[in-house]
Amino acid sequence: MPNAAASYLELVDWRRRVAVLFAEWRTAAATDREGATSAFRESRDRLFADHPQSPLKPADRSRFSGLTYWPYDPAYRMNVKLLPVEDDAGPHGDEGSTPATALSIALPSSGPEPIAFRRIGAVELQGPLAGARLSVFWIQGYGGGIFLPFRDATSGQQTYGAGRYLLDTIKSADHGGDPAAGTLLLDFNLAFHPSCAYDPRWSCPLAPPENRLSVPVEVGERLPQESAVGP
């Protein structure tokens, strides 16, 4: 029987290593976006192959040869304004806690229960995705974090059927931004599948209908074969 205490420490180590990957990517991508992304992917592959908290099923790790991605496309990197929700009181509310209002929602989940989030605003996309809009969420609960999932026309064929993640800052998936300017940096070349795409033992929040793009987003992580996968 696995040592439960050791599993917790392994999970902390996984998150620590992922945080380093994103921090290194943010620094390197300032001068070499494609090179930084290539190095990020190579390091992520090593984590998936070797780390005890890899999302992969144990039986899949021995034959794992790397995740599959589309080539880097700089057109899918953009700085966007976070357009606020007008009646949002902010992350702390009136008494140091997030207020429960109509902005609080339960996003769909791959598990038996929905997960509580708060819609904090929206972003209007640029480049090949100009004219599209995605909602941005705050994960409810201790600490919180920004969460930005999406589905697109590749979902269920070239990518996981339930969509991909762009930002999940509670797990260090953070591309950067400028609080003073009210902007977020979004690089769709870093779009990745949730853990439940590899093993159903993981419970993952999923993209709601409002975050479904009608066009294909052919950058970031993809499935190794063009087959429908998803809940």
Query: Does 103 score more than 90 pLDDT?
Result: no
Other CB atoms within a 10 A radius of the CB of residue 204 amount to: 24
Quick one: average pLDDT of 74-97?
Answer: 74
pLDDT score recorded for residue 112: 61
Q: How many domains in the chain? A: 1
φ, ψ (nearest 5 deg) of residue 200: -65, -5
Residue 107 lies in a domain: yes
Residue 34 lies in a domain: no
Residue 197 lies in a domain: yes
Residue 199 lies in a domain: yes
φ, ψ (nearest 5 deg) of residue 184: -120, 140
pLDDT score recorded for residue 62: 85
Domain range for 83: 70-222
Residue 195 lies in a domain: yes
Quick one: average pLDDT of 121-134?
Answer: 98
Asked if 204 and 120 touch (Cβ cutoff 8 Å), the reply is: no
Model confidence at 3, pLDDT cuts 50, 70, 90, reads confident
Rounded to the nearest integer, the mean pLDDT of the chain is 88
Quick one: average pLDDT of 139-159?
Answer: 92
pLDDT-wise least confident of 5-9, 165-169, 179-183: 5-9
Residue 14 lies in a domain: no
Query: Does 56 score more than 60 pLDDT?
Result: yes
CA dihedral 144, 146, 147, 152 (to 10 degrees): 170
Q: Sign of torsion, CA 152 154 156 162? A: negative
Other CB atoms within a 10 A radius of the CB of residue 216 amount to: 14
Query: Does 47 score more than 80 pLDDT?
Result: yes
Residue 123 lies in a domain: yes
Q: Sign of torsion, CA 49 185 161 147? A: positive
Residue 36 lies in a domain: no
